[in-house]
Structure formats: C-alpha cells, structure tokens
Structure 1
Amino acid sequence: MTQRHFAGAAAAFAVLLTLILPAAGFENTGVPDPDPAWRDAGSLDDLAAVLDDWLDANSDYPRNPAPLAIEIADPITIAMNPSVASSFGTRTRGLYDHEAGRIYLIAPWSRKDALDVSVLLHELVHHRQVARHWYCPAAQEPDAYTLQQAWLAERGLEADIDRVTIVLAAGCTPRDIHPD
C-alpha cells in the first residue's frame, strides 16, 4: 500500500469512526456511555423514564408522583408565557413550571444530543424538588446543576456552567441592597 493510499484509508477510517462511535454509545470524547439507553428512547416520556431511573440511583430526591408534561417550545412562546417568562434568559435551554407540572425544552433541542438531554435531566430534578421547602427558586439550582454535570461527566462531557453565579443566586439575598 502506498503512502497516499494509506492516508486515504486512514481518513476513511476516521470518518467511519465518527459515524459508528455515537451509535455504539460513545460521544465525541471517546468515553463509553455507561448507560446508553437514553439514545434509544422513542419519545420524550421514554427518555424522561430513563433519566428518572438514573436520578433514582444517583440522587436523594424521590420521584414526584404528580403528572408531568414535557414539550419542546420556541423561545418566543416561552418569553410570552407569564408563568415562566421571568425565568427565561438568553442562555435558557429549559424551564420547569411547577404550577403546571410542565417542562419546557427550548428549541432547537434534540433527544440525541447528550448536552440537550442533560437539560431535561436538570428540569426533572426540579420536578422532584417541589416536595421540599426552598427559600427562593434559585436555591434549587446547585443540586440540579450538580446532578446534570454528574450525568454528563459519566459520558466524558461537561456543561458550560457558571458556578459562582449559581452559588450567589442560591443564597436568596436581595439583588439590590442599597439603602434609600
């Protein structure tokens, strides 16, 4: 085999690996997925069931028996929804409306993308957290982000999370503390 043929074969093999590894339970990191069942979920409800099983094994939050609806929504619809609009920001990928028992996943969102799936897991944590008392909604975030990051870490991935902002917001202190 000539060097040119070898280089072509190596390039073809690399392309083949990028197609085969994700289907075999590997992300682009090359780390094997310890539980690739989420990839085979046929619906959002099936995917939520797989993630709930993971949360059962990896968190102290019990399942919430209340009904849960999950929908993929466009950002404009979410921004106009008064029950969740105050929580919606430019980087928001998902929201949990505890009054409606509904998770909104912000489009574009794909159940085949581990980072997007981790957003659903994060919101499922919030669905489980409603049974506890919280001084403010932001106090729930550190646990949800920690579990989200743990799920991603098992797959060799990491979310872009600003821990300092999360911890400060979780303190539930007023944002404007200047005296009059």
Structure 2
Amino acid sequence: MSPLLTATVLFAGRPSSSPSSHRRRPLAIWLLALLLALPVAPVASSPGDDMAVALARITREQSAWLAASTEYREPDLPGVRFESQAALQQRCFPAFPENLDVRVRGAYDPAEGNIYLDDDLDLSSPVELSYLLHELVHHFQVHNREDISARARGRLEGEAYRLQLRWLGESGVDDPWGALGIDEKTVQIIERSTR
C-alpha cells in the first residue's frame, strides 16, 4: 500500500496585475507539479504496524471467502490477538496445571468476540493462515447458528476442519490433510463427538 501524499499549497502575497507576476505564476505551478511527481519515500512504520495491516487484510479476505463458500451471512469481523503458547494452552485447557504436549495454533472466545493466535504464526504460510480461517469459521457459526450448544460442538468443529481443508486446497496446498496432520476418520470422530 503506497502512502497518500496530500499537498496544500498556499500562494502568499497580494495578487498583482503586473505582467511579470503572471509569467511567474505558471512557472511556480509547473515547479510544484514537478516536485509532486517525484517519488516519495514511504513513511517508516514498525513491523507490528505492517503485520496488523496484513492481518486485517487477510481476515477480511478469509471472511469474504467464508461468506461466498457457505450459506452463512458475513458478521462483523472479530478482534484478532496474538498470545504466547503458554497463554493459549491456559486459555484452552485451564484445568491442566502444566504445559501440554500439544501446540495450540488458535482459539476463539465467543464471549469476547476475539480470535487468539499463536504469536509464532507465520503470515506467509497458507497452512499457518488456515488456523485463522478455522477460528473465523467458529465466529461465523456463533453469529449464524441457533444450535451452538455443547452437544453440537463436534459438528461445529468438524465443519471448521472441513472448511479449513477446502480453503487450503483452494490456496494451492497439495495435501491439506497431511499439512494439518489429520485424516477423514479423525474428522468423522470429531463430528460425532458430543463434547
């Protein structure tokens, strides 16, 4: 995204009716036009700002993809936050006193309306970005489905995995199942789960 350069030009002094002032004014306008045509160095921004802009764009694109790929209406975008692995594990498994031997890539908190992602997420990797899409599916579900009870959780989770796999395939990942380390039988078990 290139910066927008806005120039406000104020010509100071009194208007003059002398012939020399009329000749200088077009020259001044020509010089100003030349200066404005020169390339402008972008305003420096921090890596965090660039990442926030990229993440907002990706979230909008994935949200539009979900709206086009499902019968869900597109809700307002959720907040997206980054957390350490320890904080994500505590968020998802609060009853476990120690770190688990699993890596939590993302979580959705429907009460807050926020998606939480691992702070090591690589925005250049479709596989990594698919975890954002997975959590975005849950956001869509919460805002579009009447039955989001505990007994429906398996179906909702299975739907999120299936949409994540479909998105990965459409994003050019050759083996979405292998990339996620999951198989059809596992997704079916998740879908049948009542927990």
Per the TM superposition, whether the score is higher than 0.5 is yes
Pairwise CA distance, 1:119: 0.8
TM-score between both structures, scaled by the size of structure 1: 0.63
Match of 2:190 in 1: 169
Q: Indicate the larger mover: 107-116 or 121-130.
A: 107-116
2:55 aligned with 1:55:
no
2:168 aligned with 1:152:
yes
Structure with bigger RCO (C-alpha 8 Å, 6+ apart) = 1
> Unpaired runs of 5+ in structure 2?
1-50
Pairwise CA distance, 1:113: 1.0
Give 1:13-24 correspondences, 5 Å limit: none
Q: Which of 124, 128, 138 in structure 1 is aligned with 2:154?
A: 138
Match of 1:100 in 2: 112
Rg (Cα) greater in structure:
2
Secondary structure of 1:153 counterpart: helix
CA-based RMSD of the aligned residues comes to 2.6
Equivalent pairs counted in the alignment come to 132
Give 1:65-144 correspondences, 5 Å limit: 65=76, 68-81=78-91, 84-85=92-93, 90-130=102-142, 131-132=144-145, 133-134=147-148, 135-144=151-160
Whichever residue aligns with residue 53 of structure 2, its letter is: G
> Residue 41 of structure 1 contacts residue 47 of structure 1 at CA under 8 Å; is this kept in 2?
no
Seen in structure 2, the aligned counterparts of structure 1 residues 89 and 124 have a Cα distance that, compared at 3 Å, is farther
Pairwise CA distance, 1:93: 1.1
Q: Provide the C-alpha distance between the structure 1 equivalents of 2:94 and 2:190, rounded to a whole number of angstroms.
A: 15
Pairwise CA distance, 1:172: 3.1
Percent identical residues: 31
Whichever residue aligns with residue 184 of structure 2, its letter is: R
Q: Provide the C-alpha distance between the structure 1 equivalents of 2:82 and 2:124, rounded to a whole number of angstroms.
A: 14
Q: Which of 23, 29, 42 in structure 1 is aligned with 2:53?
A: 42
> Unpaired runs of 5+ in structure 1?
1-39, 175-180
TM-score between both structures, scaled by the size of structure 2: 0.59
Deviations 1:1-53 (A, max 9, x none): xxxxxxxxxxxxxxxxxxxxxxxxxxxxxxxxxxxxxxx99332221001111
